[in-house]
Structure 1
Amino acid sequence: MTTDQITAFGVRFKVQIDDVELGLFTSCEGLGAQVVLEQRQEGGNNGHVWQLPSRVTFPNIKLTRPLTRDTERVARWISHLGGGVRRYTGQITAMTTDGTVVAQWNLLDVVPVRWQGPSVATGTTAVLTETIEIAHHGFLGGGN
């Protein structure tokens, strides 16, 4: 599928945490990784500074969508965290509106960080949205 075809169809992000499907989201921010570099200066060598890789960090992922019936799934999943937060595996699948899978990311040690439900004010015509933010410790093999 070409980029033009993907743009024409639009992309949605299906989110599943362990065996709980949280539904489709319209926005996904933060998928990525960064290698942290430590700088070391070598005595007597003024020509450059050594850039030594030390660790890989992964930013939090923020998923947003308009308010739907799936909001209840997220609320139920979040309500189970009262008994203690544990780490999950997760999967984010980018797909077109006709269901064609564009890409898939499998996540290791997913931890919910924040859920922001809709803010409601009388007299406004804005679309109600919800946002969920998750942290993770990297990507699992397969599907990436």
Structure 2
Amino acid sequence: MSSDTFAVTSLFQLTIGVHALGSFTSCDGLGCYTEVEERREGGLNGHVWQLPGRLRYSNLTLSRPLTRQTTLIWLWLRQVSQATGVPLTRPLRLPGRLVALGPDQQPLVQWELDGVIPVRWSGPSFSTDQPQAARETLEIAHNGFIGITHL
């Protein structure tokens, strides 16, 4: 039997630069892929070469029920927009850290992200017709993984 245990996460903590943005209940898009270019060689009709290209990183989308922590996102967004002089036209890229916490709130895995920028923030839709928690969503882009650590 293996000594590995399966990671069961309950929260994700996100920090961008010095801004601890709080805990999120879901995280989608953590991954990367290689662009593949097809090349056809003259005279070789039964074969297409698959050539590796750039390594690309997916955007991360994090969401959570609306809490007072939403102001932490706005503090970061304000710093990004003020650093450029023109709101969100050339965002300030900062390192980031995403930590997956287990059910016991102990860190499981940590991803260090390079050059994080905001892509989109969306606030909750309010409706009295559907009694559900108001949620916010944050989408970020990054230049890649600086490191991944098992904690």
SS at match of 2:75: helix
Partner of 1:2: 5
The CA distance in 2 between the partners of 1:50 and 1:107, in whole Å, is: 32
Identity across aligned pairs (percent)?
43
After superposition, where does 1:1-144 map in structure 2 within 5 Å?
2-3=5-6, 6-7=7-8, 10-83=9-82, 84=84, 85-143=91-149
* Amino acid corresponding to residue 5 of structure 2 in structure 1: T
Instruction: List structure 1 segments (4+ residues) > 2 angstroms apart after TM superposition.
Output: 79-82, 121-124, 141-144
SS state at 1:50 partner: strand
| Larger mean Cα displacement after TM superposition, 24-33 or 76-85 | 76-85
RMSD (Å), alpha carbons: 1.7
Query: Any stretches of 5+ residues in structure 2 without a counterpart?
Result: 85-90
| CA distance, structure 2, for counterparts of residue 126 and residue 141 of structure 1 | 37
TM-superposed deviation, 1:142? 4.8
The 8 Å contact of residues 28 and 61 in structure 2, kept in 1 or not, is answered as yes
Q: What letter corresponds to residue 14 of structure 1 in structure 2? A: Q
Counterpart-to-counterpart distance in 2, 1:141 and 1:103: 11
Instruction: Determine the structure 1 residue equivalent to 2:88.
Output: none
Unaligned stretches of 5+ residues in structure 1: none
User: How many equivalent pairs are there?
Assistant: 140
The separation in 2 between residues aligned to 1:66 and 1:142, in whole angstroms, is 27
- How far did residue 104 of structure 1 move? 1.2
